[in-house]
Each structure stands twice: as structure tokens, then as C-alpha cells.
Amino acid sequence: MRRPPISEQLERARNAGSQLHHFHGGLRLRHNKKISCELPLEATPLPPRLFVPMLQHSGLSAEPAVKPGQQVLKGERIGYFGVKEEMAVHAPTSGTVKLLARRPISHPSGEDGLCVVIEPDGLDQWTQLTPIENWQEADPALLRQRIREAGIVGLGGAVFPTAIKVDDAHLRGIHTLILNGAECEPYISCDEMLMREQPGSIILGARILQRAIGAGRTLIAIEDQMGAVNESLKAAVKEAGADDIDIVKVTTIYPEGGEKQLIQVLTGLEVPSGGRPADLGLLCQNVATATAVANAVVEGKSLIERIVTVTGSGIRQPRNLLARIGTPIENLVDQCGGYTEDAARLILGGPMMGYALTSDSNPVIKAANCILVLSELEIEPPQAEMPCIRCGECVRVCPALLLPQELNWQIRNQQWEEVVDYGLKDCIECGCCDFVCPSHIPLVDWFRYGKAELKSLQIERGKAESARVRFEAREARLAREKQERRQRLEQKKQGLRDQADKKKKLAEAIERVQSRKDGGK
Amino acid sequence: MSRKFDTGGAPHFPPHSTVAGVMQQVLYALVPGVMAYVWFFGVGILVQIFLAVAFALLFEWIMLRLRKQPVRLFLGDYSAVVTAVLFALCLPPLAPWWVALIGMLFAIVLAKHLYGGLGQNVFNPAMVGYVVVLISFPQVMSLWLPPASLAGYTLGPGAVLHTIFLGQLPAGMTWDAISQATPLDTIRATLATGGIVSEARESSIFGDFGGLGWEWIANFYALGGLWLIWRRVISWHIPVMMITTVVTLGLAVYLADPGSNPAPLQHVFSGALVLGAFFIATDPVSGCVSNRGRLIFAAGVGVLTLVIRRWGGYPDGVAFAVLLMNMAAPLIDRYTRPRIFGQ
């Protein structure tokens, strides 16, 4: 299937949601979400200490803006980074900064990172809040600034700074805001719970975002397997009188909650390779991100807590918790009745894309949508890796239409040109290929490695290129200097020759005069 | 008190499928066909399967040891067993024991391990083994039996073992008396002597479409193959395309010249076509990866099979056709790359 011309694509993007489409591949996985939706949402009590990592967004770590011993208030900025300081981290409660230390930060790399360790004073006192009273009338630029100050990131798990996305969306011109409530990974139910319990704030966030970026309408995508979500959202839309917000039910197939897949389902269009949804006039945000926006604008509260699903057969009472960023995971587990006897693996995120943590002393971070604890039975037995038998299952399930088995082969053989040609950069790391591979090849691990290699090659190539430019400039300079030297020498020689000539002529003249004198005698 | 955990890579699920599981399912799918085979042609085929599997595992073990590969892991993947069974199903049921030995030597040692082992072989190992013995021992490889209903004798297990292991028939029996040309042989011979297909078909060894007995075995192979499609072990593209190609092309040439071309269904139900369509051309390692590629691959096997049957030096051409298309597979893969998302 060829892609339609861009004008037709934009037209179809405008009608997003009017008709549902399919995306290639994907998996139908067992949902396993009900177990964590039985108990109502509950806030996690203040732990004795909070460990707030400075790296909670995609990109580089924030720089701490506080010193040990300093008193902080809840919502006060304690670290930031970025051109516009869009990567900000705030104090989750009031208290004292005990120390700045390198600790576990729940990062996929498993490495430690800088944390601000706060000892709560128990007062939980907010800093001076600056809500935007009348957001309906407010300057959209002011709304975007508030989003930036509040340290909001994409809460679906990608943790890309929302401010950057929103600023870009504003510049590019967006007609439709898509709120992603299609939580496609098994077990995770934090968005479902949020949509059920706080639909009003999602709708409010949607309307604020719409104004901030100048979009004409909002589509909220939810999964058809979610219970009671449609009704609660519809009621909230009605209550808000927002007739420019539509709710669309999409079929539950992993990974349709992926931005590109969701857009394909809603529009039938593919986000261009290397491009962004904004190319189609769309902006995609997670529903929890919309709530964070609403809190930031209407109440002036920065992002200091999030809903976390604590679930899996390794947890006694699975449920959803509203936890402060920086709370140790063990506190959440305790609140859920602790581990069962066969708890064997602690995962941050879902079973498909989540990563295993080595210890539950890791803190809750902005990316922590789910704490999944699985039993021995659900992860065992570990299988030996076999050679690829080219069965093509990975090709069948790949939503990015890649050939994972070829990429695997090329990456292992360091054939980087082929790797680029075969579209490694378009891999969304959903793990479908990994899941179906009968040879148990850790394909996504290889793809991440390949991407990292490509990046460093690109940097090296950049360095080589600038070295080449420098070298050529130097060569040119040397050649020029040589040329100049030669010219100077030439001039000098010429000068000498001229001088010799002059002397000669003088001598001749003297001789002539002499001979005349002599002759006259 | 915080707790430590072991880590592991995503996805965090018990294994969805294994290579051994895939191979086992292929073996299960062959059971109905083998049972039909025994019903029509006696227990000889079981002995051939046993011999081929034993030799295959022996060579596999030796090669794994020589190549310093994990022996238990790879012996347990059943890939050598599948190769052996598919090879055995191509042999005449009373072929002497060393045919399986030589066939497996070439299949496992040459076609599989010298190319790099599981997943690396360019050619279908079973077909390499079969073609080697077919070319090397044409006489032995042509000693086929008539279906039990036509045979004027019965060979008990003792006689079968005697024939296979000693290489000669029990006293009082001669090959001329018990062996019988296959339907494809018969057609070929008739055409060679200036006859027409309908004359050949007057022989009692023909059934409704193909050979008597053979067509039922083909039905049971197809049954197992359909189960494999349902289990998603193989995709439908190869069997459907291969059989469709044979029927369409067969029909075209049949209509053009019914005297020298068998009816299309005769082609489908003769020789190794159904076995090939569901079990041999579907070998993933030596075939194509994308569905478009698989369609081209299967069409190629179908066309080449008919060409070899009509003009080639052998009555059946499935094995040669598969090997020829194995050679073309990397090229087909190259030209049937799917368009990447968003490009």
C-alpha cells in the first residue's frame, strides 16, 4: 500500500476517529487489568524519606537547585535543566534536604544517579501557588509557560518533556489533540483508574491543552475492554459542556497505545518515518499528562505525584496508588499487603516493555506507571538462545513493518549501512518480535544496542567531518602561506636583480664617464 | 527492609514458543500421513523412518561435538528428526539400510552443519539427502511397491527387516514380482514409447486422481498441513500458492495437449507434491521470509516441478524444484522487502 499524497493525508487526519483502521501485526495479550481495579485509588502516606532523582525525563539529568540542610516547601523547584528549564523537578512534600547523593534511580540502565534526599517535616505545606484563575481567557503562551514550569513530562512512560511537545505543536499548528487512554500493556491500569475516578480533570486538562496549542478538537482514545470508563468520561464531557471532545473506543491489541499505532488506528495514516504526529496536524498526549496540566494551570501545582499500578501475582492486594515521586517502591508494596511467597521479579512498567529492578529501594519516578511483581512461574523457565530459524513470526507481528530477523543479523555483523537501510530507527521497541521468537533471541536488546551504535557512529562521523573541514582549512592556509612566501621571495629576488641591474648601470655610467674623462685627457 | 530481586530481560513472559515445539508440531502433523502410508504400503516406511532418525541423531551428535556446540540443547531441538522423517518419507519402503545412512550423512553433515548448523543452511537438508541418494542409486530408489490391495502377496515385518538389512528379498521372492512402477513412472514410460496419458491411466495402479493409495496419503498429509496452518506453524501462502500454480499451469497445458499432459489433479495427487507443499517447501530456514516472497517461492516450486516432470530426467521434480528455489530465496527476499512504516 502506497501512502496517499500529503494533502489527502492532512484531510484524513482532520477526520481522525470518524472511522477506525488497523495497524500491522501486534499481539492479543491477556489483559490482567481487573485484579488491580477492584480496590479504589488510595494515596500513599508520607515515607520517612523521599529520594527524588534528578533524571526523570528523556535526555540529560537536571541540576539540583538546593543544598543539603535547606528547607523546601511542597512543589518548590529543587532541580532543573534545559534551554528553557523545561526539565524541572519539584519537592514532593515540605521538609529538609538531607543530602544530595548518587542512589538507585529506577532507570532502565540500572545505574545510580543523583538524588535529592528529603526528610519530610510532616506538614506537607505547599509553596506559594500561582494558579491561572481564568484559563479560558488566558494567553496560550502563559498556559504553555505554566506547563513548562510545572515539570510535566509524558506520563505514559516515555517521559518526554511536555513543554517541548506543546511548544512545537503550537509552532507547527495542530488541529486535533489526541488523548491516549489506550493503555495497551497487560496489567497496567493506572490510566483506566484515573479515567474512572477523575474524568473531570482529564476533560479540563484536554480543554487547557487545546487552548495552549490552538487545536480545534480533542479525541480521547480508550480501549474496548475497559470497564465503566466510557460512561464516566462521557458524563464529564457533558458536565463541562465540551462538544469539541469525542471519545473513541479502540480494539485492544498490543501495542496500539503506541503513539504511531494509535494515530494509524484513528486516521489510517502513518506518521512519516523520522517525523512527528505534528506532520499530520496531530498532538498525542497521555490522559494522565492532561490531568497534570489541569493541576498545574488551575491549581498551580507542579508534577509531584502520579498514579502507580501495583500489581501482579507477586503482590498480595494489587491496586492503584497515588504516590509521591521519590517514594521508595517498598512503601507502595507494603501498602498493598506486601509480596506473596512466590514473588520473583520486580518490574517497573508492564511485562512487554518494562524493565526489571534489582531492589525495591528504588524510588517512584515520573515514568513509573506500574510496579509489576511476577512469580517464578510467570517468568520461568529461562530459555537458552537458539539460532534464528527464519520462521518469520517477528515479521508477522512487527507494527513498524520491519524485518527483525534481518536487523538482528545485520547488527550482529556490524553492517551499519544495511541496518539504517532496513529501518532500525523506525523500531518502536514494543517487544512483539521478542515475544513470539521461538529461538528466544533478545531482539529488542540487540536493537537498542544497534541504535546506540548508530548514534555514536553518527557522532564520530560528525567529528570526522569537522576534523576533515579543519584539516582542509589548514591545508589551504599552508598552501596560501607557501604561495605568499614564494611571492615574497620572488619579489625579493626581483628586487635584488633590479638592484644588481642598477649597480651595473651605475658602474657602466661611471665607466663611461671615466672613459670620457680619460679620453679627454 | 528493602528486598533484592534477580533481573531479566523483557518481555517478562513464559516462553511463547520454542524451536523444539515448532519441530514437534511438524512431526505430529506428519502422523496421519504416515499412518495412511503404513495402511497402503506396509510397515517398511516405519523402519525407514527409524533408521533415518537414528542416523540423523548420530551425525548431529558427532557434528555438534566437532563444532563444540551445546549438544543437549541442539539434539533436543528435533530439527534433525524432522529432516530425517521428511527424508524417509521420500524413500521406497524397502530401500536398504545404507540408503538412510548415506542420505543422512549428506543431509546433516553437508547440507546442515558444514553450512553452519541450525538456521544457516541454504538448502533444505532433507532434499539434499534425498537428491544425493536418488542420483547415486537410481536402481534402488525405483523399487516401489504397489498398494496392499493390488499386491498379490503380503510382506510381514520379518520379511521387511530382512529385505532392508540384508539388501535382498526373502527366499522365493523377486523384485520383478513385488515391485511396481509409480504412477508418474508409468506416465513417463508410456509417453516415452509414444503413448498418451489416458492409455497409461488404464493401469490399475491409478486411483481417482493420482496413484491408488498415494492420493489418500496425500489427503492425510494435507490434513496435517492444515493443522499446521491453523496452529500458525506454517503460513498458508506456500501450500496454497504451490498447489494453485500446479493446478492452473497443469490445466493450461492439459487443455492444450491432453495426450501428453496428465490432468491437473493427477499432478497434485502424484509424487511428493502435497508433502512438498505443506512440509518441504515450507521449511523456513531455506525459504523466503515475507509473505510476498513466499508466494513467489511457492509459485517457482510449482512451475519447476511441472517442468521437471514433463521434460526433466526424473519422474518427479519436487525435490529438485525446492532446491532450485532455495538458491533463489535470498534474491527473492531482497526484492520483496516490505515497505517500512511511515516510509
Residue-range domain boundaries for chain A: 8-310, 312-379
Q: What is the pLDDT of residues A200-220, one digit of tens each?
A: 999 999 999 999 999 989 999
Interface membership of B24 toward A (CB under 8 Å): no
Examine the pLDDT at A520 and tell me if it is beyond 60: no
Quick one: average pLDDT of B284-298? Answer: 93
What distance in Å separates the CA atoms of residue A323 and residue A72, rounded to the nearest whole number? 19
**What pLDDT score was predicted for residue A1?**
52
Task: Please give the average per-residue pLDDT across A27-55, as a whole number.
Answer: 92
Residues A402 and A399: their CA atoms lie apart, in Å, by 8
Distance CA A95, CA A364 (A): 18
> Using CB atoms, which residue from A359, A386, A442 is nearest to B9?
A442
pLDDT confidence tier of residue A383, bands split at 50, 70 and 90: confident
For position A85, what pLDDT does the model report? Answer: 79
Q: Is A3 or A487 the better-scoring residue by pLDDT?
A: A487
* CA gap A295, A201 in Å, rounded: 8
Nearest to B2 among A110, A360, A442 (CB): A360
pLDDT at B194: 78
> Best interface-test mutation with A: which of B7, B12, B297 has the largest number of A CBs within 10 A?
B12
Residue B283, sorted as left (phi over 0), alpha (psi -120 to 50) or beta, turns out to be beta
The pLDDT tens digits for B83-142 are: 999 999 999 999 999 999 999 999 999 999 999 999 999 999 999 999 999 999 998 888
In a domain, B292, yes or no: yes
Q: Is the pLDDT of residue A404 over 90?
A: yes
A181, A210, A265, A337 from A221: Cα distances, Å: 5, 16, 10, 33
Residue showing cell 599552508: A478
Model pLDDT, residue A519:
66
> What are the start-end ranges of the E strands in A171-251?
176-181, 217-223, 245-250
Burial code (b: 16+ CB inside 10 Å, e: under 16) for A154-173 equals bbbbebebbbbbbbebbeee
Q: What is the mean pLDDT of residues B228-245?
A: 95
* pLDDT value, residue A384: 85
How would DSSP label each residue in A407-426?
Answer: HHHHHHTT-HHHHHHTTGGG
Is pLDDT above 80 for B176? no
Asked whether residue B212 is domain-assigned, the answer is: yes
CATH code for the domain of B216: 1.10.3430
Chain B positions in Cβ-Cβ contact with residue A388 (cut-off 8 Å):
119
DSSP assigned state of B4 = B
Q: What is the reported pLDDT for A460?
A: 86
- Region for residue A281 given its phi and psi (left: phi exceeds 0; alpha: psi -120 to 50; beta: otherwise): left
Cross-chain Cβ contact A436/B290 below 8 Å:
no
Tell me what pLDDT residue A193 has.
93
Pairwise CA distance, residues A415 & A431, whole Å? 22
Q: What is the mean pLDDT of residues A179-193?
A: 92
A13 vs A361, which has greater pLDDT?
A: A361
B147, pLDDT greater than 90: no
Q: Is residue B340 part of a domain?
A: no
- Report the distance separating Cα A65 and Cα B288, nearest Å: 58
B284/A435 Cβ within 8 A: no
Residue from A102, A56, A47, A52 nearest A72 by CA: A52
Is there a domain that residue B75 lies in? yes
Q: Where is A119: in which H helix or E strand? A: strand A112-120
Please give the pLDDT value at position A466. Answer: 86
Report the Cα A337 to chain-centroid distance in Å.
33
* R_g of chain B computed on alpha carbons: 21
| Distance in angstroms (rounded) separating the CA atoms of residues A228 and A459 | 50
Into how many domains does chain B fold?
Answer: 1
Distance from CA of A406 to the nearest CA of B (A): 10
| Higher pLDDT, residue B321 or B311 | B321
Inspect the interface and report whether the beta carbons of B284 and A390 lie closer than 8 Å: yes
In a mutational test of the A interface, the residue from B1, B4, B5, B69 whose CB has the highest number of chain A CBs within 10 Å is B5
pLDDT in tens, A446-458: 999 999 999 888 8
- Parent domain of B317: 19-335
Q: Tell me if A347 and B12 make a contact (CB, 8 A cut-off).
A: yes
Cβ-nearest to B16 among A1, A389, A435: A435
Residue B276 domain flag: yes
Distances (CA, A) of B252 to A257, B248, B249, B259, B271: 50, 6, 5, 13, 20
What angle is formed at CA B132 by the lines to CA B126 and CA B136, rounded to 5 degrees?
A: 150
B319 part of a folded domain: yes
Report the pLDDT averaged over residues B48-61.
Answer: 97
Other CB atoms within 10 A of residue B78 CB: 20
Check whether B266 has a pLDDT greater than 90.
no
Given the candidates 3.10.180.10, 3.40.50.720, 3.40.50.300, 3.40.50.11540, the CATH classification of the domain at A8-310 is 3.40.50.11540
Asked, for residue B254, whether it belongs to a domain, the answer is yes
First to last CA, chain B: 51
Q: How far is B34 from chain A (nearest CA, A)?
A: 25
Residue A500 has a pLDDT of: 87
Q: Which residue of B lies nearest to A361 if distances are taken between CA atoms?
A: B2
Q: Cell numbers 484536554 label which residue?
A: A206
A406 — pLDDT class (breaks 50, 70, 90): very high
Q: Which of residues 198-257 of B touch A (CB under 8 A)?
A: 235
Name every chain B residue with its beta carbon within 8 A of the beta carbon of A406: 289
Mean pLDDT of chain A: 90
Of the ranges A68-77, A84-93, B146-155, which one carries the lowest mean pLDDT score?
B146-155
Q: Is residue B276 classed as helix, strand or coil in its secondary structure?
A: helix
* Count of beta carbons in the 10 Å neighbourhood of residue A254: 28
In this structure, is residue B3 part of a structural domain? no
